[in-house]
Amino acid sequence: MSSIEDAYAACRRLAKSHYENFPVASRLLPARLRPHVAAIYAFARIADDFADEPGRDTEERLRLLTDWRARLHSRPVTPPDPRSSPDEGPPPGLLFDALHDTIERFDLPVELFDDLLDAFTQDVTKTSYQTWDEVLDYCRRSANPVGRLVLRLSGYRSDDLDRASDAVCTALQLTNFWQDLAIDWSRGRLYVPEETWRRYAANPEMLNHEHITREWAAALGDCADHTRRLFAAGRSVCDGVSGRLRLELRATWLGGVRILDRLQAAGFDVHRARPKLGASDALVIGCKALFWAR
């Protein structure tokens, strides 16, 4: 096996080892694209862990993310240091061998990767949001680049598809925020915009009670409505592509909506149970993706 094959294999192992609600390098994607999706995922997954995983102070998190950005631009700012290596997954050298190969093969815009790092860095320094505009700007950098990268890997460069993809990716990110409300709050972070929780008198201190109050259920219902409008606005991307990518995007869209449905049906009581998708869901989603109706 060549060194570049080793690099992609290491990225695939990381992608397979992490549970996600939405497909990562799924078998619905063309086989030729899976290693490249895995390389992008590994880059983002490890950077996200730098920002989120416990055991590091703010200074170290920012240092790790700065080094990650320098590696992206092929300018490591520090010599190899065990503390700067990810706790699991491919060594940084292998990961960036695969990522740089993917960027060069598909002429991917490096600024999309910079946007991801900007969002992860913001997670270290910003813990709450006053307006929807602030939340959506975060999603523009934390989620939307992934959809655009997948489109470009598949040969699509269309403003209309980009806009639809952005809507779906933002909706998926928002769904994840509502799904992970309790986890994020335990880390001192809240993505529900202040303008929304104040409208429903849903004081954040209520989240310390480990149950969702009537006020918070109303605020999150408003957030879910906002999220559903974005899913609807982006649905066209699922029909704007062809082949196996069409099935992948349909499955991703359906999975996100299914999680949102479960959150709403449970009154957003994520303290008791965090909705997730299982094998039976995969069967239902697969059937709906095949028999998709416009």
Domains of the chain, each with CATH number or no CATH:
1-125 (1.10.600.10), 127-294 (1.10.600.10)
Tokens of 1: 């096996």
Q: Kindly state the percentage of the chain with pLDDT values over 70.
A: 90
Name which of 9-18, 102-111, 227-236, 243-252 the model is least confident about: 9-18
Residue 176 has pLDDT above 50, yes or no: yes
Mean pLDDT over residues 245-268, rounded?
94
Residue 2 has pLDDT above 80, yes or no: no
Name which of 74-83, 203-212, 265-274 the model is least confident about: 74-83
Residue 286 has pLDDT above 70, yes or no: yes
Q: Which of 118, 182, 112 is nearest to 147 (CA)?
A: 112
Rg (CA), the chain: 19
**Using CA atoms, how far apart are residues 77 and 264, in angstroms rounded to an integer?**
46
Put residue 128 in one of left, alpha, beta given phi > 0 → left and psi -120 to 50 → alpha: beta
Contact (Cβ atoms closer than 8 angstroms) between residue 113 and residue 39: no
